[in-house]
């Protein structure tokens, strides 16, 4: 019986280990994948490692992550250790009070701490960037060090330091030679926790950074649209560094113990801690040296771009920097509204890439400057279908970047094309597909679908029509039990996890390339013809260079790199034809070529009152969905 229990116990341990480490092994394997897919292995390649080292922003993110983690660990360990020793000698009232203050940052939700730091820096006019991120990391790491060191100090004989000084030691010698060696395990534990917390942090870093400074967690977040396979390579490198450190932690003490037996000399416990720090520092220096070797120095001018995450090609930024000698700093947003907040707060960028309705809003509120047509040579290269759209009738303010439709992605093995042709968007009410559909968590696109299903304009200002669309969506979520998701819809549909989904055409093109069983349908009741375009803010510091980038991104090479990598339809006519034509990456992919000449298709018009109404109604729809499930 005892043997059986031991056997079951071992099996459970193995299963737990597999549960924790299988995803890491999966990630390492796919870091050597030849293709872009995160789910299908197409062949061995070092492509993504090469891309990681060639792509300057990824190496800069690694350098930022490790350099801040190292500095924050060193400073917080030093300050936290001295603070803990000082508190141990303080009066009980002060010690208890400070311990509560020390616990507060750890007990607070990270979001609260992040907003507090952000407001602090804004109030004192501190420019956000590397230094603000470093200060924030030092601040939130110190409490963890104090918490780790305090138990070791409490376990010491309180008369130890006095005894050392009675024997002739100075206070400093008593601290360094008597107290510190006794509490070294707590110091090392606190340093490791501080280092881990710093490397892992996202929320605080996101709120306190600026000027293009990003750590690895922020970079991963900006890939929310579609995870770049290069992140597998970066993560694998990080695992390698951490593995080296762990080996040092475990092997060095064994080596020291053997030497101690041979020599009979006792080694201090401080040595392993020093070795750990040296290992971490060595790994960071290695990464830093790689970044320094690959990155170009600032040559004259700097271009600040605010764009969607994962919305630029593999080589366009590096090529532009090589072509102009300028430095490009790109920040990322994940919604038009997030971008608008920064623009309204007068944060300076040279180029923005908002969507159609947001461009209309920015124009009406005076946040954009007119383009200098004498500095643009790209307009004739763009397809007529995406020029002179209602949000900017004469393209005085914007140059199209990507464009497309919103349509229905369906599994051709489960959904009949005839059903789609007969029902259009109402197929999302067909109970045959109950529990087998995705709704995209976008209020605008969901209400577009409902309004078009009812035969109304998606730009309606009639509240009765909006209420009918709301009832349509409530019926959908209550009877069909859909999953309301965000960008995970892309890989999920590529894997065929559901039969139906409402998706952007660019994402649909990627899904169809990955899975030949998927189709794309645009209902006859009409859809959204959307466009994202490059604009120059009124407060841009370098409009001259901004015009140069717009030309570069709209030219054949830049546009081809963008579209072939991202998967969204290029505004460049020649690129669009080559990528969709014979031998092109999107040959035979219907989703890549948007429908542009259909009278019932519309472009979103900005209307603040309607936007608020739709936002409130969509919140109610999601509540109804959660209650139904």
Cα–Cα distance for residue pair 496/502, rounded to 1 Å: 14
**Given this model, what pLDDT does residue 287 score?**
47
**Given this model, what pLDDT does residue 134 score?**
94
Angle between helices 573-580 and 556-566 (to 10 degrees): 40
322 in the same domain as 274? no
Q: Which residue range forms the structural domain that includes residue 107?
A: 56-291
**Given this model, what pLDDT does residue 55 score?**
67
**119 domain-assigned:** yes
Cα–Cα distances in angstroms (integers) from residue 123 to residues 115, 120, 126, 127, 225, in the given order: 12, 5, 8, 11, 33
**585 domain-assigned:** no
Cα–Cα distance for residue pair 593/575, rounded to 1 Å: 11
How crowded is residue 177: how many other Cβ atoms within 10 Å of its Cβ?
13
Yes or no: say if 508 and 401 are a contact pair by the CB < 8 Å rule. no
Yes or no: say if 230 and 313 are a contact pair by the CB < 8 Å rule. no
337 in the same domain as 411? no
232 in the same domain as 131? yes
Cα–Cα distance for residue pair 384/389, rounded to 1 Å: 10
188 in the same domain as 156? yes
**Given this model, what pLDDT does residue 502 score?**
95
**Given this model, what pLDDT does residue 295 score?**
40
544 in the same domain as 454? no
87 in the same domain as 144? yes
Burial of 334 (0-12, 13-18, 19+ CB in 10 A): middle
pTM of the model: 0.75
**296 domain-assigned:** no
Cα–Cα distance for residue pair 73/67, rounded to 1 Å: 10
CATH at residue 277 = 1.10.3720.10
**309 domain-assigned:** yes
Yes or no: say if 33 and 45 are a contact pair by the CB < 8 Å rule. yes
Give 358-374 as a DSSP string: HHHHHHHTT-B----GG
DSSP state of 222: T
**Given this model, what pLDDT does residue 48 score?**
79
**297 domain-assigned:** no
User: What is the longest distance spanned by two Cα atoms in the chain?
Assistant: 96
**397 domain-assigned:** yes
Domain boundary among 242, 265, 291: 291
DSSP state of 435: T
What value does the CA radius of gyration of the chain take, rounded to a whole number of Å?
29
**Given this model, what pLDDT does residue 103 score?**
77
524 in the same domain as 621? yes
**505 domain-assigned:** yes
114 in the same domain as 247? yes
**Given this model, what pLDDT does residue 548 score?**
94
275 in the same domain as 165? yes
398 in the same domain as 409? no
Degrees (nearest 5) of the Cα angle 288, 294, 297?
Answer: 95
CA proximity to 570, closest of 604, 594, 535, 545: 594
How crowded is residue 479: how many other Cβ atoms within 10 Å of its Cβ?
14
CATH at residue 459 = 3.40.190.10
Overall domain count for the chain: 4
Ranges of residues in the chain with a pLDDT under 50 are 269-275, 277-278, 281, 284-298
CA proximity to 427, closest of 442, 410, 413, 441: 410
**Given this model, what pLDDT does residue 423 score?**
96
Question: What is the β-pairing status of strands 483-485 and 437-440?
Answer: parallel
103 in the same domain as 22? no
**369 domain-assigned:** yes
**Given this model, what pLDDT does residue 293 score?**
41
Query: Is residue 445 classed as helix, strand or coil in its secondary structure?
Result: helix
394 in the same domain as 329? yes
Give 277-345 as a DSSP string: HHHHHHHHHHHHHHHHHHSPPP-S-EEEEEEETT-S-SSHHHHHHHHH--EEEEEEESSHHHHHHHHHT
Cα–Cα distance for residue pair 419/426, rounded to 1 Å: 10
**Given this model, what pLDDT does residue 314 score?**
82
């Amino acid at each position: 019986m005892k043997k059986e229990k031991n056997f079951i116990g071992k099996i459970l341990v193995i299963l737990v280990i597999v549960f924790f480490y299988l995803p890491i092994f999966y990630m390492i394997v796919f870091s050597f994948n030849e293709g872009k897919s995160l789910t299908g292995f197409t062949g061995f390649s070092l492509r993504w490692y090469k891309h990681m080292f060639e792509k300057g922003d990824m190496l800069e993110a690694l350098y930022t992550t490790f350099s801040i983690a190292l500095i924050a660990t060193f400073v917080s360990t030093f300050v936290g250790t001295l603070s803990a020793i000082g508190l141990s000698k303080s009066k009980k009232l002060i010690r208890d009070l400070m311990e509560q203050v020390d616990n507060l940052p750890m007990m607070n939700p990270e979001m609260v701490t992040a907003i507090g730091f952000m407001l602090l820096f804004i109030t004192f006019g501190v420019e956000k960037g590397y230094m603000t991120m470093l200060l924030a990391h030092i601040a939130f790491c110190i409490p963890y060090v104090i918490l780790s060191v305090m138990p070791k100090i409490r376990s010491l004989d309180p008369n130890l330091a006095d005894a050392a000084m009675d024997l002739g030691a100075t206070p400093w010698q008593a601290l360094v030679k008597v107290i510190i060696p006794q509490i070294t395990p707590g110091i090392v534990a606190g340093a490791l926790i501080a280092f881990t917390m710093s490397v892992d942090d996202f929320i605080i870093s996101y709120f306190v950074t600026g000027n293009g400074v990003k750590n690895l967690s922020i970079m991963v977040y900006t890939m929310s649209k579609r995870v770049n396979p290069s992140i597998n390579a970066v993560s694998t490198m990080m695992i390698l560094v951490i593995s080296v450190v762990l080996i040092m932690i475990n092997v060095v003490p064994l080596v020291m113990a053997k030497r101690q037996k041979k020599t009979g000399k006792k080694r201090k416990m401080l040595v392993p801690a020093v070795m750990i720090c040296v290992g971490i520092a060595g790994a960071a220096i290695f990464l830093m040296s790689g970044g320094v070797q690959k990155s170009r120095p600032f040559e004259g001018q700097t271009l600040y771009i605010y764009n969607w995450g994962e919305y630029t090609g593999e080589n366009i930024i590096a090529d532009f920097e090589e072509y102009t000698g300028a430095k490009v700093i790109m920040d990322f947003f994940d919604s038009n509204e997030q971008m608008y907040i920064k623009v309204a707060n007068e944060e300076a960028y040279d180029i923005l890439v908002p969507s159609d309705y947001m461009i209309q809003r920015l124009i009406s509120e005076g946040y954009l400057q007119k383009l200098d047509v004498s500095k643009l040579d790209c307009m004739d290269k763009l397809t007529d279908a995406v020029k002179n759209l209602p949000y900017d009738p004469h393209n005085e303010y914007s140059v199209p970047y990507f464009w497309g439709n919103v349509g229905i992605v369906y599994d051709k093995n489960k959904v009949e094309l005839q059903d789609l042709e007969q029902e259009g968007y109402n197929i999302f009410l067909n109970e045959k597909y109950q529990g087998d559909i995705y709704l995209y968590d976008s209020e605008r696109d969901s209400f577009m679908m409902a309004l078009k299903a009812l035969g109304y304009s998606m730009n309606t200002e009639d509240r009765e029509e909006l209420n009918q669309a709301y009832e349509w969506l409530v019926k959908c979520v209550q009877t069909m039990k859909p999953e309301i998701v965000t960008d995970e819809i892309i890989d999920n549909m590529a894997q065929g996890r559901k039969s139906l989904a409402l998706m952007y055409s660019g994402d649909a093109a990627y899904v169809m390339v990955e899975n030949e069983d998927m189709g794309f349908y645009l209902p006859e009741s009409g859809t959204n013809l959307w466009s994202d375009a490059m604009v120059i803010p009124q407060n841009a510091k370098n409009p001259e260079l901004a015009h140069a980038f717009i030309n570069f991104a709209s030219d054949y090479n830049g546009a081809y790199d963008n579209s072939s990598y991202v998967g969204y339809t290029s505004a460049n006519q020649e690129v669009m034809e080559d990528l969709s034509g014979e031998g092109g990456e999107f040959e035979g992919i219907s989703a890549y070529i948007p429908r542009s000449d259909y009278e019932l298709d519309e472009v979103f018009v900005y209307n603040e009152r309607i936007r608020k109404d739709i936002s409130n109604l969509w919140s109610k729809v999601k509540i109804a969905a959660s209650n139904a499930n």
